[in-house]
Amino acid sequence: MLALAFVPAREGVLLDQVHPLQTTRWADDAEGAADLAVLLGILITAAKAASVPREAVMNERDVLLNKLAQGLRPMSEGIEWFDGLGQEQQSEVLLFLRHHCVQARAVAEDAPESIRRAGLRPTHTPAVLISRGRIDEQLGRIAGLTPLNERRKAFRLLVAVLSIADARRRERFCSGGCGHWWHGLSPSPDNPAPRS
């Protein structure tokens, strides 16, 4: 993990969003390495963006995604926002949602309820994927879906997974209070949805 922060810093790229990974990665896990490389690329691109302060973009997106996951914003608003993004931005959102799900400690047992909450049929591609194999790998496959109609389903499913996993984390680890800023969000309109 130190190398992930040190090597880019040596090149003048400071990554303030680097945190310990919550999943085990093995040396021969090519797919996991590819996911990590994509995530690192996204973080580097975001850190180098000069037109808009990185913190503003990340916070607005994270606020909206967390409000959707907590039921503080309607999913219809989230879908409208997601549909207004370009394909590359949609990919970044799906990858960040996947990352948030893993960080919230999503487990395979979350799949059936996530599918139900997302309003998906068990035969929809994201529903089939989440029901098979290791959850962290399957979340990566779901985030990588490319057809637009599958991306919308992936978005709804990943928000539902985050909702379930984060609610469990709040109950188990944060019931006595915590420092997670997203656990203090309110449904008030002071944090409008970001525009594409």
Mean local confidence (pLDDT), 25-34: 72
Least reliable range by pLDDT among 96-105, 153-162, 167-176: 167-176
- Fill in the DSSP letter of residue 25: -
pTM: 0.66
For position 63, what pLDDT does the model report? Answer: 84
Interval 117-165: pLDDT, tens: 999 999 999 999 999 888 888 898 999 888 888 999 999 999 999 999 9
pLDDT of residue 148: 84
Task: Retrieve residue 12's tokens.
Answer: 């003048």
pLDDT at residue 100, as a whole number: 87
Q: What is the mean pLDDT of residues 56-74?
A: 79
Model pLDDT, residue 7: 62
Confidence check: pLDDT of 191 > 80: no
Residue 50 Cα distances to 38, 46, 56, 128, 187, angstroms: 20, 9, 12, 40, 31
